[in-house]
Amino acid sequence: MTIENIQNAIIDEFSMFEDWEERYQYMIDLGKTLPLIEEQYKTDDNIIKGCQSKVWVHANMSNDKVEFTADSDAIITKGIIAILIRAFSNQHPKDIIVANTDFIDKIGLKEHLSPTRANGLVSMIKQLKMYAIAYQTQLN
């Protein structure tokens, strides 16, 4: 599936819920399905800077695609990173780099986060794209 297809599926899923309490619960449930980072990668180097909570992200390259794993010490944040990883993991670096992130606005996530969590969301997206840039550089 392309990043856009995955993002559209996420938009459709969030549109099924009537209110943000249900959407938060769905995010928490998504966080429980997150491909967890191995303990050895829970280091300061893998912490997303700019997040209120601790969020660790690890990336590796397999078959010219970037695979992400992550974890967080906060359940909402874990749900947020789970959404991003679902959208960007197992994709070619060049596709991650140019991917649009409008789906975040379409599900209304940014407007329902505290300012510090919204900043953390931006930092997470930036870090995932930085990993993709690093891997794309290796491919060139």
Whichever domain contains 69, its CATH number is 3.90.1010.10
State pLDDT tens for residues 34-59: 988 999 999 999 999 988 899 999 99
Q: What is the 3-state secondary structure (H, E, C) of the chain?
A: CCHHHHHHHHHHHHHCCCCHHHHHHHHHHHHHCCCECCHHHCCHHHECCCCCCCEEEEEEEECCEEEEEEEECCHHHHHHHHHHHHHHCCECHHHHHHCCCHHHHHCCCHHHCCHHHHHHHHHHHHHHHHHHHHHHHHHC
**68: containing domain:** 3-139
| pLDDT tens sequence across 55-113 | 999 999 999 999 999 999 999 999 999 999 999 999 999 999 999 999 999 999 888 88
For the annotated catalytic residues, the residue numbers are: 51
Q: How many domains does the chain have?
A: 1
**Could you tell me the pLDDT band of residue 117, with boundaries at 50, 70 and 90?**
confident
